Chains A and B, each alone.
Chain A
Amino acid sequence: MSALARIGRFLGDNPVIPLLILLALLVGVLEFMRPGILNERWIGNTVKFAIPLAMLAACQTFTMYTGGIDLSAGVVATVSAFVMATLVPVVGTGPAILLALIPALLIGLVNGIGVAFANVHPLIMSLGTGLIGTGCLQVYQRFVIATGSEVPPFLTWLGTGVTWGFPNSLLIFVPFAALLIYAQSRTGFGRALYAIGSNKEAARLSGVRAWQVYLLLYTLSGLVAGIAGLLYVGLIRAPSLSLVNPLLLPSVAAAVIGGTSIFGGRGSYAGTIVGALILRVLDTLLTLMRMPEGMRVLLFGLIILVVTAIYVRLTDR
């Protein structure tokens, strides 16, 4: 066994370690370029913006375990955020938040039904429901145009607030991430996801009822996307009809950089979280270099490609 293969195997077993090294490297470059940038405020800001991205990337990570993807996540998050903000003046904060999660659950459920019972590819299914969701939102907007919108102080506090140097959104995110990391490896549901992604037929023969798993998975994915949208609107404080949509492709990128295989059966949510952080730091880095916008976008794409290519090469067994 050559040294390279050994490193590859080690990294394959501990996929988060090389990502953490990469993250540290990027932060190092940042500190070198702009000494003193590495302070509490900057870290807090980076984490604040990485959290909604990491939550949206959870939808991609968990659906990817089964070989799927959820392209409706961005729209679902936008719908939840917009519906919540427009309902607050009418029904109050608590009910508005609960009501806003209903469309999220519904879109997720429809995705699940399509994937589970009609055998539609998740990419197509979630693309279609995303289109429907966008249309419904535009129609909805015309009915509530008079009521105005409001982001409740609670969500603003959660999204932008900082307590003892820690962003308040960690209050939601830490238990959320802990639950997901526990669920993916320690629960029957989590193992069923990997099983379906590795070999659907073998999973079926071992007693996994795929339709139940798909229904639950995509409904939960909708719910998580909805919550991510609520957090994001608390951070941005300006609801709009395309609020979270720009985060969709980065959420896929975060999951992929984090080592989750888009073909299913492999990956971890811990990797995705680091992936989301890497994307945020990369964004700061490219902004600081004062390049033309085009160069920044170009490098962003190239780096995603290079990181995944190296990753695939190292862990390919």
Chain B
Amino acid sequence: MIRVLRNQAWVLGLVGLLFALALVTKAIQPTYSASGFESLARAALPFAFATAGMAVAILVGGIDLSVASMMAVASVTAAVLMEGAGVGTSIGVVFLVLGIGLAMGAINGALIVVTKVPDIVVTLAMLYVWEGVALLILNAPGGQVAPWLQQLIRGSVLPWVPNALILAVVGVAIVWVPIRRSKLGLAIYAVGSDPLAAYRSGVNIAGTRIAAYAICGLFSAMGGLTLAMSTGIGEPIPGPYLLAAVAAAVLGGVVLGGGIGGLVGPLLAVLILRLVRQDLTLASVDPNVTTIVEGTIMVGVVMLGGILALRSRRS
């Protein structure tokens, strides 16, 4: 019960932080408008999916260093297959790419289970493997994403409710909510908290871990797709999503080691980090200072969380 409360407290704290940042934004730039928020949501989209995937891998007690590489595979596959294709074909390609993501994640998970090599090492090796696959599919940036898909993430349905934001929330919820409420969701948290206890309670550890990594792969594929949708082309070299995803997941209250956290916190953390970046740009601060601020926020929050946890354990 206390653990649940603390989780909610973390999410509530993030919501408070987001509100404070929104006020700061309004103060810096009184003319900040819905279009500013629309471009923010569009920039945050690939980060949101990468972070969701990373969070699931951390929740089950592992970590997936190959997230950015899997995104690259998804983005080049989509761009190559959609070049010059009609609407019907491109819908098929979207599902194919999601399937490939699921398969890549499942392969990661199966290798971890079969080889008994630590998660971080297997996914480090797979980072190279998937990057290689992406380069084999497309040697240099190219291809073309179906125009209707590029339009899909632009604009807003309602003012202040950009399409990109809806896509992120719906995309994550459609996968995670049913899983979280099923036996598999419980199993993921159980294996992440204590594999031995989970095993003795009859949880299929190997299956759960493979499933969790497959979900991570699926989210990575979504991230790769949305990345290709926003740039219009496929990019075989992985972007800066790996470290950013770990940072946002941890800032979002997912604890390294597994079993603690959810996906709401990490998604809020992505928004917060992107908003900080936008605010600093609006305040015409040197864009390079942004990286320092992001790093400092992350280190500060994590250290504060660590110290608070030590305090509560002592008392």
Query: Residues of A with Cβ closer than 8 Å to B?
Result: 69, 110, 114, 117-121, 123-125, 127-136, 138-139, 142, 249, 252-253, 256, 261-263, 292-302, 304-305, 308-309, 312-313, 316
Nearest B residue to A123, CB-CB: B256
Residues of A within 8 A of B304 (CB): 118
Taking a contact as CB atoms under 8 Å apart, the answer to whether A135 and B126 are in contact is: no
Taking a contact as CB atoms closer than 8 A, the residue among A128, A261, A292, A294 that contacts B298 in the complex is A128
B121 at the interface (CB under 8 A from A): yes
Taking a contact as CB atoms under 8 Å apart, the answer to whether B306 and A118 are in contact is: yes
Q: Which one of B116, B256, B292 has the highest number of Cβ atoms from chain A below 10 Å of its Cβ?
A: B292
Q: How far is the CA of A261 from the CA of B118 in the complex (A)?
A: 9
Q: Which one of B117, B118, B291 has the highest number of Cβ atoms from chain A below 10 Å of its Cβ?
A: B117
Tell which of B31-39, B133-141, B169-177 binds the partner.
Answer: B133-141
Residue pairs across A and B with CB atoms within 8 Å: the count is 160
B-side interface mostly: helix
Taking a contact as CB atoms under 8 Å apart, the answer to whether A292 and B295 are in contact is: no
Query: Residues of B with Cβ closer than 8 Å to A?
Result: 63, 111, 115-118, 120-122, 124-137, 139, 236, 243, 246-247, 250, 256-257, 286, 288-296, 298-299, 302-304, 306-307, 309-310
Taking a contact as CB atoms closer than 8 A, the residue among A135, A302, A308 that contacts B295 in the complex is A135
Taking a contact as CB atoms under 8 Å apart, the answer to whether A253 and B124 are in contact is: yes
Taking a contact as CB atoms under 8 Å apart, the answer to whether A305 and B115 are in contact is: yes
Taking a contact as CB atoms under 8 Å apart, the answer to whether B125 and A308 are in contact is: yes
Q: How far is the CA of A253 from the CA of B129 in the complex (A)?
A: 14
Q: How far is the CA of A312 from the CA of B302 in the complex (A)?
A: 33
Taking a contact as CB atoms under 8 Å apart, the answer to whether A298 and B256 are in contact is: no
Taking a contact as CB atoms under 8 Å apart, the answer to whether A294 and B118 are in contact is: no
Taking a contact as CB atoms closer than 8 A, the residue among B128, B289, B299 that contacts A300 in the complex is B128
- Assuming the contacts A121-B256, A131-B243, A136-B292, asked whether A305 and B122 have C-beta atoms less than 8 A apart, the reply is yes
Residues of A within 8 A of B122 (CB): 305
Taking a contact as CB atoms closer than 8 A, the residue among A114, A127, A139, A299 that contacts B247 in the complex is A127
- Chain A nearest CB from B71 CB (Å) reads 16
Taking a contact as CB atoms under 8 Å apart, the answer to whether B121 and A262 are in contact is: yes
- Assuming the contacts A127-B247, A139-B288, A301-B132, asked whether A114 and B303 have C-beta atoms less than 8 A apart, the reply is yes
Nearest B residue to A122, CB-CB: B256
Taking a contact as CB atoms under 8 Å apart, the answer to whether A304 and B128 are in contact is: yes
